[in-house]
Each structure stands twice: as C-alpha cells, then as structure tokens.
Amino acid sequence: MRLISKLVFVLSLITSCGVHAHAVVTHNSLALKPVPVNQASQVELSFNSKVELDLSEIHLVSAGDKMQVIEAVPGDKPGKVLLNLPALMPGEYAIKLKVFAADGHLSEDLLRFFVKQPQ
Ligand SMILES: [Cu+2]
C-alpha cells in the first residue's frame, strides 16, 4: 500500500506540468512603492524564471475593464521585468499578465493596485 501511494505521488509530480517551469511572479514593487498620481512610473516584477517578453502580453486594466497594452522591458537580472505605466488618475487598476517562461510554459496573473492621492 505504501509503495503504491508513493508511486501515485511521484506520478502526480511528473504529470503536473512542471510547476518549476512556469514563470510565476515572486515579487512586485507595487506594495513597497505605490504608483504615484498623474505621473508616469515604473513597476518592477521578479519572476522565478526567465521570461520571453516578445511572446508575453501585459495589459493595464482600468475602470470599466478597459485594457491597454503596457510596455515591458527586461530588468538587470534574468526574470526581472520593468513595466512602464502611463500617468494614472486615482482609482483601482490591475496589471494583467500573460507570460511565457523561457521554456514556453504560459502563465496568467492579475495584480491589483490602487492609485491614491497622497494623504
Ligand atoms: Cu507547465
């Protein structure tokens, strides 16, 4: 019985589509460095893997589900990506990521953030 459950566990690891192969956001600058009001800014993302930016789609989602493509440039390390945000009015936004890892695995993510007038 124990051998079988071990075998099942190993098989599930093999067939679970290589968790390590996906490009997952491990860090983003939104929490530490809030997006300023009415001023172009840059958001820093770190992935656990190298990202194929040419194949990836990164959109800014604003009120009313309006989507606009945002420019993404490689950072100073593999897996680091800088997003160039336009000047934004106060409100709720999200960054929608459709990202290809270097090995071709696709992952999607949604990072919500607020733009707030400084208190
Ligand atoms: Cu996969």
Beta-bridge partners for 114: 92
Separation of CA 40 and ligand 1 centre (Å): 34
> What CA–CA distance (Å, rounded) separates 101 from 50?
6
Please give the distance, rounded to the nearest whole angstrom, from the Cα atom of residue 18 to the centre of ligand 1: 5
Distances (CA, A) of 74 to 45, 64, 90: 10, 30, 27
Q: What is the pLDDT along the chain (119 residues), one digit of tens a residue?
A: 666 676 666 555 555 555 556 899 999 999 899 999 999 999 999 999 999 999 999 999 999 999 999 999 999 998 999 999 999 999 999 999 999 998 888 999 999 999 998 87
Ligand 1 centroid–CA 105 distance in Å is 5
Q: How far from the centroid of its chain's Cα atoms is residue 106's Cα?
A: 11
CB burial of 56-73 (b: ≥16 within 10 Å; e: otherwise) equals bbbbbbbeeeeeeebebe
Nearest to 79 by CA among 5, 15, 28, 38: 28
Whole-angstrom Cα Rg for the chain: 18
Q: What is the pLDDT of residue 16?
A: 52
Ligand 1 centroid, distance to 26 Cα (angstroms): 17
pTM, two decimals, is: 0.79
| Residue 22: predicted pLDDT | 84
Single out the residue of 50, 30, 46 nearest to residue 92, CA to CA. Answer: 30
